[in-house]
Structure 1
Amino acid sequence: MIQFDTDRRLFSISTAGSSYVFGLNEKGVLQHLYWGDPVAAADCAPLLGSRLHSSFDAALDRDAEEFAYWGGLSYMEPTLKVRWHDGVRDLRMAYAGHRIERADDGKETLTVVLRDEAYPLEAHLIYGVRPGHDLIERHALIVNTGDRDVVLESAQSAAWSLPELRDYRLTHVTGKWAGEFQLRSASLTEGKKVLESRRGFTDGHANPWFAIDEGTATEESGKVWFGALGWSGNWKIVAEKTAFGRVRVTGGINDFDSEWTLGPGERFETPSFVGGYAAGGFGAMSRGLHRYQYEHVSPGRDLRKVLYNSWEATYFDVNAKDQIALAERAAMVGAELFVIDDGWFGQRSHDRAGLGDWTVNAEKFPNGLDELIGKVRDLGMAFGIWVEPEAVNPDSDLYRSHPDWVYHFPTRARTELRNQLVLDISNPGVKGYIVDFMSKLLGEHDIAFVKWDMNRTITEPGMQDHPLNRQKELWIRHVRSLYEIWAELRRRFPGVAFETCAGGGSRIDLGMLRYADQAWPSDNTDAFDRLSIQEGFSYVYAPKLMTCWVTEAVSGMNKRVTSLKYRFHSAMTGTLGIGANLNEWSEEQLREAAALVAQYKEIRPLVQGGRQYRLRALEHKSVDAVQYVGAGDMGEESVLFAFLHAQKLGDGLPRLRLQGLDPDKRYEIYGMEVDGAKDDGPEVDGVKGDGAEIDGVKGDGPEVERAKDVRSGRALMRIGVELPLRGDFDSLLYRIRELRQP
């Protein structure tokens, strides 16, 4: 997969569907040459060489530099910028060698070593390729080989040079609290487009990934170049287009208010920046990233449990009696995991006090937490718990004992957001406190799941007992300490699953997902709003990693009214959760919910492990549709969800063409309804079925199904299925199975 042509001085990285080529030109510049469909590396040799336009544009080859160090005639966004002990702020890096290694699992790694011409500093550029993936994992290792400090003013993970295209369309996401992961696209003109976070975590206002195409790519076709950064703190991705039409995307740790002092013999490792090329449009991009996460990023390989969370039912009014009543109803509907949220500890009866005091509130739980845990376990569910270890209320025993444990400047007021401050978790005392109380909590109680929240951006970024000239290291130290804490807890408690949650959909990235089993994409649980949030999430992140709740019929966010079926269908496209007050649900609603949960458990392997297809052909008709394809005991299987926003002017809907099926196989199509509800079923190629009726009285097993029709994969993908959706906020669920001859 990785080769070096000694004669031509070319490095080539080959995957099944792509080639990535760079080389050393006559000036010794590590110059990017090609990235796209597979080619022979030797064919790229004529592209290698320096270019000159004028004395003001004297080093155009550096516009496509593989490692863009700041110095000399380089004026684009740098990958590395340093300050030497003598005040010099210039780098002159020269090639010093390379090595290619192969691991037992088949992963190949290329390390290219660059060395400054005058100062003792090395940059190790590291490229990793895994078998079966059209992705390249990149990061850099900066090594101080001397005996004096070196200040890193910017140390980015990678620079991705794009090929010459007719146009450059950037796709990314933006958002806000309750409106995360909203897709945006725009043509890149000369200058810089900067995506970033300066808030201390990944942030819901943007997310650290990019996709670039020529302006014509769709879900199903077109060439797409993309990258996703694995860093859970301040980050920056810069897409820069020059006056000569070259585009380079540089990304890594945000250099705003950030420096790192590299002592003698020390090393600084940048986070991973994964890049890839997909010839099959945005859908192929997403499926490649999803499979990579399932196989090489996510720590949990098991299917995610159906969870119930008590937050919206009780808020801070938590007590053993009410939680047990909720647990009984959660078990009735088929939940496998019961999670108690905020309010179980300290003097936590509201958000103004108690945060940081991680002891069970004796008034709320007079018999301790184990009374509730035991009841949950007796009901056949695992038990989970909410924590927010990085923050503290000023009204808490912890803060009164350790007021200097929070980030602050001595001469400034300590800004409170949500009545809380942020702990300096890089402080050994703070870090030890968190590891100790979490270890005690998990060690003394039968807890299988932790929802780790973080509802506070970082302000007044000052660290006590830390050198004044190294205060700007705070942003990096916080994230590294967070990773170390999670790694230690996962080592001590390998059977516990963790969910990352931060102010809604913040802190979701390929760095955090190496430790978290799943992620909370938004505090907005409105079933219709969630469709766009979950779609934007899915562009990079896998459905299995996305927690989705079913809440009340009247949305607390928008006062929108939707049916229970619609709310479940929306939440069933990821990892299913329930967050409603089940004590207020009728027996009929509980039975319907139980049947829907049973449906989800039947299709869960497909949703959480299959290939996802976002079906966009009906975008103009107010329909969202998503399909999952995988292999089951009965051969190839698929599940289709479709959602109608609103029907207008009596218009019908055209057929929906499926994807990902074998054109030569024949498939049975099943309607999936609950509680005696009946629909006419899909119409395929003019043939209509009788409809399916499912008994949902007990909800203790899978639905009753009746095949609606049998058609070839070719017909389903080219002719499609009818969508009998009507009115406002209607939805359906179809199951498609390969028909095997006896």
Structure 2
Amino acid sequence: MSNIDRDIDRRRRAVCMQLLGGLAGIALGGSARARPSVDEAAKVFRLDGAGVTYAFGVNKDGQLQSLYWGSALAPEDRFPTPVPVWENSSNETSTVVTPHEFPGFGGGVTMEPSLKVTFPDGVRDLVLKHVDHRVEGDRIVIRLKDVSRAVHVTLTYAMDAATGILARSAVVENRTGNWIQVDQLAAASLNLPYGDDYRLSYLTGRWAGEFALQTHDIVPGSIVIESRKGVTSHQANPWIAISRGNTEEESGPVWFGALGWSGSWRIHVDMESLGNIRATAGYNPFDFAYRLKPGESLASPVFHAGYSEEGFGGASRLFHRYQREKILPGAPAPKVRPVLYNSWEATLFSVDEAGQTALAEKAASIGVERFVMDDGWFGARNDDKAGLGDWVVNRKKFPNGLAPLIRRVRELGMEFGLWVEPEMVNPDSDLYRAHPDWVIHFQGRPRSEARNQLVLNLARKDVYEHLLAMLDRLLKDHDIAFLKWDHNRAWSEPGWPQVAPAEQQRLYVAYVQNLYKLLAELRRRHPNVEIESCASGGGRVDLGIMALTDQVWTSDNTDPLDRLLIQDGFTRAYTPQIMMAWVTEAPNFVNKRVTSLEYRFLSAMQGGLGIGANLNHWKEADFATAKRLVAEYKATRKTVLQGNLYRLVSPQHRSGRSATLSVAQDGSQAVLFAFLHASGMRDPLPRIQLRGLDPKRTYALRAIAGTAAPRTPRQASGAYWMGHGVQVVLAGDFQAAAFVLDAAAGPALAIPG
């Protein structure tokens, strides 16, 4: 094994074990551990947690077979040894129609396999059989092996006690005397029994239109959701939800899951010939060929899957909790997001000490807690054509370096943050002129540019070491609390000429694992620095990157009406804790829509609040409005970011209105946001019935913005607010209101007549 191979393999194992350990091995808030159990006589494995049971077993052919995934079964309920499904015909053999947990491509398998390999002699047949198993704390570990060749697969199942969410992953090991090539590797295959009313929901999009919710009937055939871009992508996100025909926002079954991987990925959903449903998630097999030398192994990403009986709302609240308490840095209690100001829209590349200082002073006056200087501060960076990769302070713009600006920002009571895009380089840069071989490319072929830049090959050890040294030095030399880490293009020409041709496609895995290693090492060296994952907006949002970054940039589209739809889709999969939302200019640059400053604030206050408007254009009244709403946000953000989210009225399907409610985990506070997108013909608005409150507690209603209808009580029981609802007064286009409900001590009061 070469030094490069050995280093990559070591990192991969370390990151995988770190993720699995962090995601599945920590008890939540002192809660009981999940209950894995093994019925040795029946060869059945079972995991129970938070009202969910997952069961599978070893059938008579020695293969792992799915048995059950759904609401919790009684502890005394027992499954018999699984029996392969009888063949339907010679075209639907038992091997094809049996619900396998982790099928290899071989032995007659024609459904989507979890693992496909090629041997040096051209054989591509792999039949995996159970070898042994063990229980380790809250997880079950299964070992499989091919029927004749020394290819071993280790599967890990770990269920979270607090949410019932199952983390699954696989490691394939080459114990043969020669190389093998992994052509396809999934984290898991998940099975659901026959049903004629399954529906699939997933998220698609584009730049400025991320997290668009799609829902379709599952019919015979396959649905493929994927990214081939080397990054998670805007076009699709690695999250799915499978529901039934009777499932609604707050009722009915939902099976859901997301892949923790920030490179090319694929989720493959099938309805097979007998109507069973199978979902397989892992590396994208497109252009994938990972050669393992004897003794080497390859770990899959982790797939996190859950079940809820409380509809899409219940599913997302479970997943939000899991992310906050098991995934994010600082788990189980990540910090609430500080109010942030970013200078990009105010100055673009024209940054200098005087201009940034003036913006910082204005930002501090409205209560901003973190000031971030965006692009243009380094190298020959006057536009997007040059300087990327040269991470040294531009002395023409900052003759005294960054220290005076940072010092002034700190004097104003704010933290200082900086924009970086470490993985990219402009051809017009000192770095590229010195190291043209450092970019991803094919030897002797054109190098396609996007945004005038190329992608550095982070899989290379020298590139990794250069970026670590550069970023470490930047953070050591300056009082920086935050990095906005951008990634503004997808891959092209995915070559790695410095390694042998048979090794080059390791790039798809090695790059991402080195990215994870780089972020983890920077966090270790600088534990107080927080990082945002940005990729031209929401192009890199997934559970892999979320384990190493504190927040994500949801979309470059900051139009407040568009954001309501984007944020609705985002929260189906991901917690508001990490969802950054900015207040920017009107008319908005995306679609020239004009909205009030208050409307823009209320849209953005449903996530991590940021302000990106040009404060030099604001009037005195704008500063007063902003200062008031920033203060209101600070008083309610813990509830908004870390509470239980209820999507009361969805903006999907061009709805004329929308509303969300966030309820604190202890029920002590709730925050209601209501929006009217357009009105006409004096149409009345229905009352908004709240959810998730304690019916026996009294809640006092207070307006942040807007008004409630006359005769609305100032305080009432949770039962009243949920049963009777709140009548919000809204009329016109692009109107918004927000209210806080604070719980009083003691029992609920009677409602005055």
Q: TM-score, normalising length from structure 1?
A: 0.93
Runs (4 or more) in structure 1 with deviation over 3 Å come to 40-44, 46-50, 60-63, 617-621
Q: Distance in 2 between matches of 1:709 and 1:164?
A: 51
Counterpart for residue 24 of structure 2: none
Q: 2:115 aligns with which of 60, 80, 83?
A: 80
Contact 2:42-2:81 within 8 A present in 1 as well: no
Does 1:681 find its partner at 2:681?
no
CA-CA distance at 1:44 after TM superposition? 3.6
Report the CA distance shift for 1:219/1:651 in structure 2 as closer, same or farther (over 3 A): same
* CA–CA separation in structure 2 for the residues paired with 1:183 and 1:650: 30
User: Does residue 95 of the first structure (1) align with residue 130 of the second (2)?
Assistant: yes
Shift of 1:47: 5.9
The correspondence of residues 393-472 of structure 1 with structure 2, limited to 5 A, is 393-472=426-505
The gaps in structure 2 that reach 5 residues or longer are: 1-34, 748-753
Given the alignment, which residue of 7, 29, 39 partners 2:63?
Answer: 29
Task: Tell me how far 1:60 sits from its aligned partner.
Answer: 5.0
Partner of 1:585: 618
Residue 485 of structure 2 corresponds to residue 480 of structure 1: no
**Aligned partner (choices 249, 263, 270) of residue 300 of structure 2:** 270
Q: CA deviation at 1:216?
A: 2.4
Partner of 1:720: 725
Would the alpha carbon gap of residues 213 and 680 (structure 1) be closer, same or farther in structure 2, given more than 3 Å must change? closer
Distance 1:577 1:139 in 2: 36
What amino acid sits opposite 2:200 in the alignment? Answer: L
SS of 2:459's partner is coil
Q: 1-side partners of 2:505 and 2:458: how far apart?
A: 15
Q: Unpaired segments of 5 or more residues in structure 1?
A: 103-107, 674-678, 689-707
**Aligned residue identity for 2:415:** A
Secondary structure at 1:728's aligned position in 2? coil
Query: Letter of the aligned partner of 1:710 in structure 2?
Result: Q
Q: Does 1:613 align with 2:640?
A: no
1:237 and 2:276 equivalent?
no
Q: Match of 2:28? A: none
Aligned counterparts, 1:491-502, within 5 A: 491-502=524-535
Q: Describe the superposition over 1:108-153 as per-residue Cα deviations: whole angstroms up to 9, x where unpaired.
A: 0100110112111111110011221211000001112233211111
Q: Which residue does 1:649 correspond to in 2?
A: 681
SS across alignment from 1:539: helix
Q: State the distance in 2 between where 1:347 and 1:82 align.
A: 48
State the identity as a percent.
46
2:95 and 2:301 map into 1 onto residues whose CA distance is 28
Q: Which residue of 1 aligns with 2:419?
A: 386
Q: Give distance in 1, aligned partners of 2:93 and 2:211.
A: 41
Aligned equivalent of 2:701: 669
CA–CA separation in structure 1 for the residues paired with 2:574 and 2:352? 36
Task: Give the deviation of 1:712 after TM superposition.
Answer: 1.7
SS state at 2:349 partner: coil
Determine the C-alpha separation between the residues in 2 that align with 1:381 and 1:680: 33
User: Which amino acid counterpart does residue 51 of structure 1 have in structure 2?
Assistant: W
1:215 aligns with 2:249: no
Select the residue among 609, 615, 626 that pairs with 2:660.
626
Aligned ranges for residues 198-209 of structure 1 at < 5 Å? 198-209=228-239
1:286, 1:249 → 2: CA distance? 19
CA-to-aligned-CA distance 1:429-466 (integer Å, 9 cap, x gap): 11111001100100010000000000011001111211
Corresponding position: 1:729 with 2:734: yes
**Per-residue CA shift, 1:300-349, capped at 9, x if unaligned?**
31111100000000000111110000000010111000000000000000
The CA distance in 2 between the partners of 1:621 and 1:208, in whole Å, is 26
What do the CA deviations read for 1:38-73 (whole angstroms, capped 9, x no partner)? 225755428633311122222156541001110011
Cα offsets for 1:515-544 (capped at 9, x unmatched):
010000100000100001111110111001
1:57 aligns with 2:84: no
- Helix, strand or coil at the partner of 2:144: strand
Partner of 1:15: 49
Cα pair 2:418 2:484 within 8 Å, conserved: yes
Q: Which residue of structure 2 lines up, in the alignment, with residue 565 of structure 1?
A: 598
Residue number in structure 1 paired with 2:378: 345
Identify the residue that residue 377 of structure 1 maps to in structure 2.
410
Residues 459/631 of structure 1: CA separation in 2 closer, same or farther (3 Å cut): closer
In structure 1, what is the Cα distance between the partners aligned to 2:263 and 2:514? 11
SS in 2 for 1:45: coil
Provide the residue aligned with 2:80 in structure 1: 45
Larger mean CA deviation between 322-331 and 609-618 belongs to 609-618
Q: 1:191 to 1:618 in 2, by over 3 A?
A: closer
Deviations 1:186-233 (A, max 9, x none): 011111100000011000100001100112211110100111100000
**Contact residue 627 and residue 641 of structure 1 kept, 8 A:** yes
Question: Is the CA contact 1:174–1:180 (under 8 Å) kept in the aligned structure 2?
Answer: yes
1:242 CA drift (Å):
0.9
The amino acid of 2:232's aligned partner reads T
Contact 1:618–1:656 (CA under 8 A) maintained in structure 2:
no
Q: Distance in 1 between matches of 2:564 and 2:577?
A: 15
TM-score, normalised relative to structure 2: 0.92
The question of whether the paired residues in 2 share the 8 Å contact of 1:63 and 1:246 is answered with no
The one-letter amino acid paired with 1:67 is F
SS at match of 1:533: helix
CA shift at 1:503, angstroms? 1.9
1:200 maps to a residue whose letter is G
> Counterpart of 1:64 in 2: which secondary structure?
coil
In structure 1, how many angstroms separate the alpha carbons of the residues matched to 2:454 and 2:186? 29
Secondary structure of the 1:455 match is coil
Q: Does 1:2 align with 2:36?
A: yes
What is the identity, as a one-letter code, of the residue corresponding to 1:80? L
Map of 1:293 onto structure 2 = 323
Partner of 1:527: 560
Secondary structure at the counterpart of residue 569 of structure 1:
helix
Alignment-mate amino acid for residue 136 of structure 2: E
Amino acid at match of 1:16: A
CA distance in 2, matches of 1:270, 1:446: 38
Question: Which residue of structure 2 lines up, in the alignment, with residue 658 of structure 1?
Answer: 690
Q: Give the drift of 1:618.
A: 8.6
Aligned partners of 1:61 and 1:48: how far apart in 2? 14
1:245-298 Cα shifts (integer Å, max 9, x gaps): 011000011010011111221221111100111000000100011101111100
Residue 42 and residue 87 in structure 1: after superposition, are their counterparts in 2 closer, same or farther (change >3 A)?
Answer: farther
Secondary structure in 2 matching 1:255:
coil
Query: For structure 1, which segment, 487-496 or 712-721, has the greater mean C-alpha deviation from structure 2 after superposition?
Result: 712-721
Question: Equivalents in 1 of 2:681, 2:483: separation in Å?
Answer: 48
- Cα displacement (A) at 1:234: 0.2
Q: CA RMSD in A?
A: 1.5
Deviation at 1:617, TM superposition (A): 7.3
SS in 2 for 1:604: helix
Deviations 1:564-608 (A, max 9, x none): 111000110000000000011011111110111011000011011
Aligned-partner residue type, residue 721 of structure 1: V
Match of 1:740 among 707, 729, 745: 745
| 1:458-484 Cα distance to aligned partner (Å, 9 max, x none) | 001111211111222211111111111
Aligned to 2:139: 109
How far apart, CA to CA, are the structure 2 residues paired with 1:403 and 1:618?
48
Corresponding residue pairs, total: 708
